[in-house]
Amino acid sequence: MVIAAPGQEVEVFNQPRRVTFQALGGKIEFDHLVEHGFPHPAESDTAIAEYVGPGAMPVLEDLILVWTIRLAPRDKELSLARFTRIRIEDITGDAPDLICDAAPNIRDGSLHITAGGTTLTSITYPWMFESEPNTLVLRITLSSDDGSEEVLLQPVAVQASFKMQAQELLVEVEKAALANLSPSP
């Protein structure tokens, strides 16, 4: 079953099961373990994606979508310090959508990055306004100064409950913005 495109149904499995994902309009196809509707962490030779997920954050009079990513070494003997760049792209659709290309923050041996910052609207993120859960595919490219790269393909389940909470927060932010525009008596 392919579940990578926004709007497609996420099948829930009681046991880990390999699922085929497609990205970039079918140009990329890969298998990934999914359990209870959630993809397992992606791995490269050196890193494992401990956490990859979206969040919504009010900024001034907008609500922005941000991504939080934490990558850890696959084992205690490996170091992620050699990676000086992290590029994160949403490759769910036909073309890559750049989320971030920056130096990661290294804490406790793990790479941390909070990325994004695009205003949340039905035009910028139409899948956030669909009632069903989605699965997106992020491509995380780790680059080192010597030119070597490692790539992780991480499916991300976006639950309907998260979308609903973000939409409710968006309404609150919009109401507050309108209240600030109203003339004082």
Question: Would you write out the chain's pLDDT as a tens digit for each of its 185 residues?
Answer: 444 444 455 555 567 889 999 999 999 999 999 988 889 999 999 999 999 999 988 888 888 999 999 999 998 888 888 999 999 999 999 999 999 999 989 898 899 999 887 888 888 889 999 989 999 999 999 999 899 999 999 999 999 999 999 889 888 888 887 777 656 55
Q: Is residue 9 in a domain?
A: no
Q: Which residues contact 108 (CB under 8 A, 6 or more apart)?
A: none
> Quick check: is 6 in a domain?
no
Cα–Cα distance, 97 to 49 (Å, whole number): 20
Question: Domain limits at 134?
Answer: 17-181
- Token pair 């979206």 is found at 54
Q: Is 158 part of any domain?
A: yes
In a domain, 12, yes or no: no
Residue-wise burial string across 1-18, b where 16 or more C-beta atoms lie within 10 A, e elsewhere: eebbbbebebeeeeeeee
pTM: 0.85
* CATH number assigned to the domain comprising residue 28: 2.60.40
Number of domains in the chain: 1
